[in-house]
Amino acid sequence: MVKNGEVKKQIRLAAETEEKESYEGSRSAEGLKDLQPLGTEWHKPFLETAPCLIVIFKSSQELAADKHKHPNEYVTESGGTACGFLLAASHDAGLVALTHAPSPMHFLAKIVDRPVNEKPFLPIPVGYRTNACWVPDLKQKTISESCVWI
């Protein structure tokens, strides 16, 4: 959990560098069109203004003292489930949280000094709702659009 203002600022600046490159160059026109309903852009001030930034890392393998690598199973599935519970618990506690997935996220491991076997999985800014908060009005798929009955 990152609460230090200077570290959050470093994370925001690094994330914005990655996002700006993505929005202005590497992302396809189709990808940019898909993002329009979300109202996102490369500016990410919430990474710095949120009271805390929870950065989830995944470790697909553990490094033993003898340098032997031991695989961890179901890292993505377990991590995704745990993050879902964390988001639900945050909202239940009266907080707001959002997921942010800059790509690539290698800068996170450097800034918070994590070992090489840990890879950034999901940064989650957590705080209180502000008047500037905006939630997109997205159309939910119907059950027949999202399920196959056999």
Residue 63's pLDDT is what?
Answer: 80
Domain of residue 85 covers: 5-146
Provide CB contacts within 8 A for 40, sequence distance 6+.
none
Rounded Cα distance, 126 and 90, in Å: 8
Provide CB contacts within 8 A for 32, sequence distance 6+.
23
The whole-model pTM stands at 0.84
Provide CB contacts within 8 A for 108, sequence distance 6+.
11, 14, 55, 57, 114, 120, 123
Rounded Cα distance, 62 and 22, in Å: 32
Element of type H or E holding 119: strand 119-127
CATH number at residue 141: 3.40.109.10
Q: How confident is the model at residue 124 (pLDDT cuts 50, 70, 90)?
A: very high
Rounded Cα distance, 133 and 84, in Å: 21
pLDDT in tens, 70-117: 889 999 999 999 999 999 999 999 999 988 877 788 899 999 999 888
Token pair for 106? 């290698």
Task: Please answer whether residues 57 and 76 qualify as being in contact, where contact means their C-beta atoms are separated by less than 8 angstroms.
Answer: no
pLDDT in tens, 30-62: 988 888 888 888 899 999 999 999 999 999 888
User: Structural domain tally of the chain?
Assistant: 1
* Selection from 52, 55, 37 nearest residue 102 by Cα: 55
Provide CB contacts within 8 A for 125, sequence distance 6+.
46, 47, 50, 52, 53, 54, 97, 98, 100
